[in-house]
Copies of this chain bind each other. A is one copy, B any other.
Amino acid sequence: MGVVVQNIRRTDRATADAFAEFGVATIHEAQGRKGLLAPRISPIYPGARISGTAVTVSVPPGDNWMVHVAVEQCQDGDVLVVAPTSRCDDGYFGELLATALHARGVRGTVIDAGCRDIAELTEMGFPVWSRCASAAGTVKETLGDVNTPVVCAGQLVEPGDVVACDDDGVVIVPRRKAADMLQASRAREEREAEVRKRYAAGELSLDLSDMRGRLTEKGLEYVDQPPED
């Protein structure tokens, strides 16, 4: 009733790192609008953008023992992903655990529960994406699992998957698809750069993406506002 899977296969380091170049929205689009965590997960401070490989932790409500167990399984370039087995807002993660993770090169933490020591984590620059701030401490009594597949904020995460995070939220890229998705993200970014330039110059998406015909076909009508009574 408690397993730690060791020596997991991780996405190639260079690939996993390269995702931090793109926004979460771009990656999400590039992989066909899949992989996004629910929007209840948000960053504890604005402006961070990271990517890395998932070390997953399944924890009971109000118990962060397995997070301590998971630290040992983390290495440079990882992102810790913590999922409670039932809804819990407690502060499983704070500045001490962040210090331990930081010493191992971990990039950040994603947790579908509460985070504490917000001020200290902000100051040390260790980013966390969480459900809420909560000073509520947890116990160390019940086992869970490390590096088994988990569902975090409605999304399946397998150990070694890419985790990419920014102000918009968190997206998961499956390990086997990472290289392709990186390329797709880059292609999308390039297309968007072109579009951005033309939008800035006043062009309309109606023309640029040739929408007018299909709108008419669906029955869109343009009318003038009737005069006032």
Contacts and interface: CB of A to CB of B under 8 A. Distances in A.
Contacts of A40: 132
A116 interface: yes
A20 interface: no
B204 A71 contact: yes
B88 A62 contact: yes
Nearest to A71: B204
Interface residues of A, number: 105
A51 to B, nearest CB: 14
B91 A88 contact: no
A71 to B, nearest CB: 6
Contacts of A142: 62, 139, 141, 218
Nearest to A29: B137
Interface in A82-139: 85-91, 94-97, 99-100, 102-104, 114, 116-120, 122, 132-137, 139
Contact of A139 (B141, B166, B196): B141
Contacts of A87: 38, 87-89
A200 B71 CA distance: 13
29 contacts: A2-B221, A3-B222, A4-B222, A4-B223, A6-B222, A7-B225, A8-B225, A23-B120, A23-B135, A33-B85, A33-B136, A33-B137, A36-B134, A36-B135, A39-B133, A39-B134, A68-B204, A68-B206, A69-B211, A85-B136, A86-B88, A88-B88, A95-B196, A100-B203, A102-B200, A118-B168, A135-B168, A141-B142, A159-B225
